[in-house]
Structure 1
Amino acid sequence: MAKFEEVKNGVIFPVGDKNEAYAQYFVGQSYLKSLIADPKLNVGVGNVTFEPGCRNNWHIHRNGFQLLLVTGGEGWYQEEGKPAQFLQAGDVIVTHDGVKHWHGATKDSWFEHIAITAGTPEWLEAVSDEEYNKI
């Protein structure tokens, strides 16, 4: 049994549906519940839930930023050229414009965060099993 199973039921916000729209940019299964998608704003807010071992591809936010507010489980965040950071509920990550990074669940835990994102994501290569297993 994975740690933090309660995350799959939504800790604070609903888990949402399987993240089919972005599935090609993830290794493993994620879920997405849009919380704010107002076309008059240049910011989107979503609750992203990751099954154990799930992570998104390396990516860069162009002409914007991303804020991650961790609400449940255990996960990882890594910027290119830096060691991965362990994340748990209450952690906050600020990713500045143009920084290559990825984030996702630990191997044995569900993980959930609120993503506040501005700008356009540039999706890059997957985080390989070899890279991920080195953490």
Structure 2
Amino acid sequence: MNNLKKIITSGSFVAITIVNVSCNPSSSNSNNIQDGSTSAIENILVFERGEEVNSPNFTGGKVWLNNLVDADSINQNAVGSVTFEAGARTKWHSHPAGQIILAIDGEGYYQEDGKEKIVVKKGEVMKCPKDVPHWHGASAQSHFVQVAITGRENGETVWLKEVTDEDYNK
């Protein structure tokens, strides 16, 4: 009993409880994450959600951006954590130096011009070739959290046309 008291006092018991709750699929917290509720998404984020993006380059729902690393003269890569609510997506766009997308949570879509849409899930990586038009965002049923690593040495993102609902739902 003294060992249990020491564990509880030291904070280890809290960690054990959190792991137990998060690994229990029948817990109410797990259901909230599947529903994509804002409070549940905030609880599972690796990085803070950041500021809501108010740009015509994102459509279909709310998007948040946390700029983690700005490109500079030493490293020409910008890194950002982007959280899309279900249905939210980018416009078609391209990157003169390419982009890498790390799927952190939820389920998203990625599509390159002329190719089929790909379902992207947590733990997957998409490599966007330079100057290839593409779009990405959340699936219709789930939020999507990504870390985007974007080369800036050859210029800024080139924004193109909106992804129509018809294209999104194909």
TM-score scaled by length of structure 1: 0.90
76, 90, 95: which one aligns with 1:56 = 90
Say whether the 8 Å CA contact 1:52–1:106 is kept in structure 2. yes
CA shift, 1:128, in A, is 0.4
55, 65, 78: which one aligns with 2:111 = 78
Secondary structure of residue in 2 paired with 1:131: helix
Secondary structure of residue in 1 paired with 2:166: helix
Q: How does 1:35-114 map to 2 (within 5 A)?
A: 35-40=68-73, 41-62=75-96, 64-114=97-147
Q: Which structure has more strand as a fraction of its residues? A: 1
CA shift, 1:39, in A, is 2.3
- With over 3 angstroms needed to count, the CA separation of the structure-2 counterparts of 1:77 and 1:95, relative to structure 1, is same
Once the two structures are superposed, residues 36-95 of structure 1 have per-residue CA deviations (whole angstroms, 9 ceiling, x without a partner) of 114232110000000110000000111x01000000000000001111110111000001
Secondary structure of residue in 1 paired with 2:168: helix
Q: Percent identity?
A: 37
Q: Give the match for residue 12 of structure 1.
A: 46
Runs of 4+ residues deviating >4 angstroms = none
CA shift, 1:9, in A, is 4.3
Say whether the 8 Å CA contact 2:108–2:119 is kept in structure 1. yes
Say whether the 8 Å CA contact 1:74–1:105 is kept in structure 2. yes
Q: Which structure has more helix as a fraction of its residues? A: 2
Q: Give the match for residue 115 of structure 1.
A: 148
> Which gives a bigger RCO, structure 1 or 2 (Cα 8 Å, sep 6+)?
1
State the distance in 1 between where 2:118 and 2:52 align: 26
Indicate the RMSD between aligned Cα atoms, in angstroms.
Answer: 1.5
Q: Give the match for residue 124 of structure 1.
A: 160
Gaps of 5+ in 2: 1-31
Matched, 1:25 2:61: no
Gaps of 5+ in 1: none
CA shift, 1:108, in A, is 1.4
Say whether the 8 Å CA contact 1:8–1:110 is kept in structure 2. no
Once the two structures are superposed, residues 75-130 of structure 1 have per-residue CA deviations (whole angstroms, 9 ceiling, x without a partner) of 00000111111011100000111111000001111100000001321000010011
Say whether the 8 Å CA contact 1:7–1:73 is kept in structure 2. no
State the distance in 2 between where 1:79 and 1:26 align: 17
TM-score scaled by length of structure 2: 0.72
